[in-house]
Amino acid sequence: MKFKKTIFLLLASFVAWAASGQQTADIHISISVSNELKAKVRSEGRLFVFLSEDAEGEPRTQLWPMGVKKNHIFAKNLKWDPAKPLEADAGTGMMTTAPFNLGQVPSGTYRLQVLWDQDTQESGLNAPGNVFSEPRNVEITKGQKLEIRLTEVIPPRQLVDDPLVKLVDFTSDTLSKWWKKPVKVKASVLLPAGFYDHPGAKYPVRYNVAGYGGRYTRVNYLVERDPDFFRWWTSDEAPRIINVFLDGEGPFGDSYQLDSDNSGPYGYALTHELIPYIEKQYRGIGTPQSRFVDGCSTGGWVSLALQLYYPDFFNGTWSYSPDAIDFENYQLIDIYKDDNAFYNEWGNQHPVARDLTGDPIVNMKDFIRYENVQGSSDTYLNSGGQFSAHAALYSPKGENGLPKPLFDPQTGKIDHQVAEYWKKYDLKLYLKENWAELGPKLQGKIWIWMGDMDHFYLNPATRAFDEFLKTTENPKSDAYIHFDAMQGHCQQYSHMEVLKMMGAKVKAQAKQ
């Protein structure tokens, strides 16, 4: 009955829109490639057409359904000869996030951009080597032909040129064997001041995990665009700690730095290959007592999970606004009891983000629709987005090389067999089932911060995690978990403050 009611409401909304009398246009887009880029364009890829209602910015970077002004995305896997124009219109049959196709575009002004996703190395569509057009504003009032030329190519990533910044880029034997092809692992290193003046010194190491999909190049921001941080970092006040910025890229989106059935042994590669290499190359102390991990959002979840799953390898986690660490509170969804990820038990849509007053910004169904369009499978399962990465880490392997979905990409129906499989990465459940062994190893190692108005409804899971830890015995958990009233997602996070806390712990250990 609930599904039928949903279909009825959707049809009623469409009829109301159609009856509103708004004029629509049948547009045809002819896409060509500049002479300079023709040799760089491959014949197979996924075509993206963006029609944004926002007259500013680059629509190709606005991939979430946030805000009143929508960015309508159209996409399809295609083959084409770049020597000839590629035609896109209603007959192309492109998947879309919009309630209309290219034959029914409501009249108005749009910011138009086209991207050809031909990269096969990275999960996201804005990857080096992909080609795109400059965005331009177009007035659509009637059926018309629009000519677009692909003139730009996304360049390779580069690190800032500074003697304290180093690139780590090597082929992982572990991941390459698992995937049966070369797989690279990358990171950036920010060395402490005085590193070159003391060639015999060894240092503790901070491993920083980014928010969702963050790349190793984020060190550039701290060096080039945060003068307060970098002035402090190169002063006598800053702790002498090596910073390592881990790369978030994985086969299905963020790798989450852990082993999974779908992405492969990223946790093993981190702890057995990347970290030993860095600590040897850049004079890390190389002991568990000298390793710390931190991050916010996705980085908050990963940093906490690394401490829990490798309790003898790291000596402290500083976790801010972590992704859901209890799947009874997977944002607002209880994956073990709820029937649907899009609708709650009263038939209302689950919101996935809100503002600080609690007003919903976007719902789960719309969010997944945008991920579905980005995936070459026409589903979120390889979109490179947030829920693609969750499925890759938590789920068993499914069909066609894709993770098995927790919930149906179109209807939101939850598969409770898959939900059972997710339990091994339910951090609250993992601790509850293994406290006798893990509890003693985690004493003095957990710091968590959470805003009680987290924009992504992550505070209920952290509350449940906190409530469990308060019940622990033998030992009683000494984890520090702090909630800030009326604070949102990652509002408390500061690289400088985290490093100060790590430095304080290093000094305290030295006195023992």
- Residues 79, 44: contact at Cβ < 8 Å? yes
Asked if residues 473 and 436 have their Cβ atoms less than 8 Å apart, the reply is no
pLDDT tens digits, one per residue of 418-442: 999 999 999 999 999 999 999 999 9
Instruction: Report which of 144, 133, 131 is spatially closest to residue 29, judged by C-alpha positions.
Output: 144
Region 452-463 average pLDDT: 98
Residue 338 has phi, psi (to 5 degrees) of -70, 150
* Domain membership flag for residue 461: yes
List pLDDT tens digits, range 166-208.
999 999 999 999 999 999 999 999 999 999 999 999 999 999 9
For 351, phi and psi rounded to 5 degrees? -75, 155
* CB-CB contact of 437 with 366 (8 Å): no
Q: Are the beta carbons of 381 and 375 closer than 8 angstroms?
A: yes
The CATH number of the domain where 124 resides is what? 2.60.40
| Final residue of a structural domain among 424, 452, 478 | 424
CB 18 within 8 A of CB 135: no
Separation of alpha carbons 330 and 294, rounded Å: 21
- Residue 312 included in any domain: yes
- Model pLDDT for residues 282-323, shown as the tens digit of each residue: 999 999 999 999 999 999 999 999 999 999 999 999 999 999
For residue 19, pLDDT beyond 80 = no
How far is 410 from 317, CA to CA, in rounded Å?
A: 37
Q: Which of 405, 424, 443 is the last residue of a domain?
A: 424
Instruction: Flag whether 308 is in a domain.
Output: yes
Strand boundaries in 119-229, DSSP class E: 131-132, 136-140, 144-150, 152-153, 165-171, 184-190, 205-209
Q: Quick one: pLDDT band at residue 21, thresholds 50, 70, 90? A: low
Decide which of 424, 454, 488 is a domain's last residue: 424
pLDDT of 225 > 90? The answer is yes
> Has residue 78 been placed in a domain?
yes
> What total number of domains does the chain contain?
3
Rounded to two decimals, the pTM is 0.94
For the chain, the distance separating the N- and C-terminal CA atoms, rounded to the nearest angstrom, is 65
> Residue 8: what pLDDT?
41
Q: Which phi and psi (to 5°) does residue 229 adopt?
A: -65, -50
395 with 363, same domain? Answer: yes
Nearest by Cα to 124 from 247, 238, 251: 251
Q: Is residue 342 domain-resident? A: yes
CA distance 455 to 360: 9
The closest alpha carbon to 498, from 443, 448, 460, belongs to: 448
User: Residues 289, 433: one domain?
Assistant: yes
Q: Same structural domain for residues 436 and 311?
A: yes
pLDDT at residue 228 above 80? yes
Assess whether 32 and 139 both reside in one domain. yes
139-143, 195-199, 385-389: which range is least confident on average? 139-143
Range of the structural domain that residue 335 is part of: 328-424
What are 254's two structure tokens?
Answer: 């963020």
Write the pLDDT tens digit of every residue in 47-86: 999 999 999 999 999 998 988 899 999 999 999 999 999 9
Residues contacting residue 406 through CB under 8 Å, at least 6 positions apart:
335, 341, 390, 391, 394, 395, 414, 415, 418, 419, 422
Same domain, 111 and 247: no
Tell me, yes or no, whether 144 lies in a domain: yes
